[in-house]
Structure 1
Amino acid sequence: MQIPKPSDVDKDRFRAAVPDNPEVVVKPMFGNLGAFVNGNMFAGLFGPMIGVRLSDADRETLEANHQTLPFGPEGRPMGGYVGLPETWNADEEQTAEWVEKAFTYVATLPPKAAKPRSSKK
């Protein structure tokens, strides 16, 4: 499976869209970036594409009114996430608005439980 690599411009655009909130953690994921709250990812970068995890109502609104894309590897998109329209790559305001909606929604979910570390014998 080929995983696209984001450019530095893509990474900067992603970081600019993520809310400036002390609860947000941005970390690398498979050469891309993910934004997390309470251990749950609410937005991710996959090559140049930003994907968000939205409430069902927000996702339906976004998909009904804009040209969204599957988010993740071709043929294996990430369930629950939607790729923001490519035309928004230059529209920081609209991208940030939907990333904020994703943050607000995912912040209401229960914190992700840490997986126990396996003991190596």
Structure 2
Amino acid sequence: MREEVLELYDKVVEANPNFVRKGKTMPYTSANGYMFSLLNKDGELGIRLSKEDTVKFDETYGVKPLKSHGATMREYVLIPESLLKDEETLGKYLQKGFEYVMSLPPK
């Protein structure tokens, strides 16, 4: 499953000129000094969202925490399998993650 998710992640990231995939063993995207998405070693994809977007995401998909290396990633939502089949919506959530970290003070 991890390879399928990685292929989808790469495809969605490549489709948006704001994003550059980084990381060899743990793929991620970042902007403004903050990560806003990552694929953990278990093949789970998480996106960092604002509080408002997290509430909307929860209403639609139900929010589950993303864990990476045993730690819960604050402000990240775990992308459910149903959304892994919807490239367009996934791309919109990645854009929301990008916009959120761009609204934070630069690191």
TM over 0.5: yes
Give structure 1 stretches of 5+ with no counterpart. 113-121
Higher helix share: 2
Could you list the runs of 5+ residues in structure 2 that have no partner in the other structure?
A: none
Contact 1:71 1:77 in 2 (8 A): yes
State how far apart, in whole Å, the 2-side matches of 1:109 and 1:24 are.
17
Instruction: Tell me the amino acid that sits aligned with residue 56 of structure 2.
Output: T
Partner residue, 1:6: 2
| Larger fraction in strand | 1
% identity of equivalent residues: 30
Normalising by the residue count of structure 2, what TM-score does the alignment of the two structures yield? 0.81
What is the alpha-carbon distance in structure 1 between the residues aligned to residue 63 and residue 51 of structure 2?
Answer: 14
Q: What TM-score, normalized by structure 1, do the two folds share?
A: 0.73
Runs (4+) of structure 1 moved beyond 3 Å? none
SS of structure 2 residue aligned to 1:35: strand
Q: What secondary structure is seen at the aligned counterpart in 2 of 1:28?
A: coil
Pairs aligned (count): 105
**Structure 1 residue aligned with 2:35:** 41
Cα RMSD after superposing both structures: 2.2
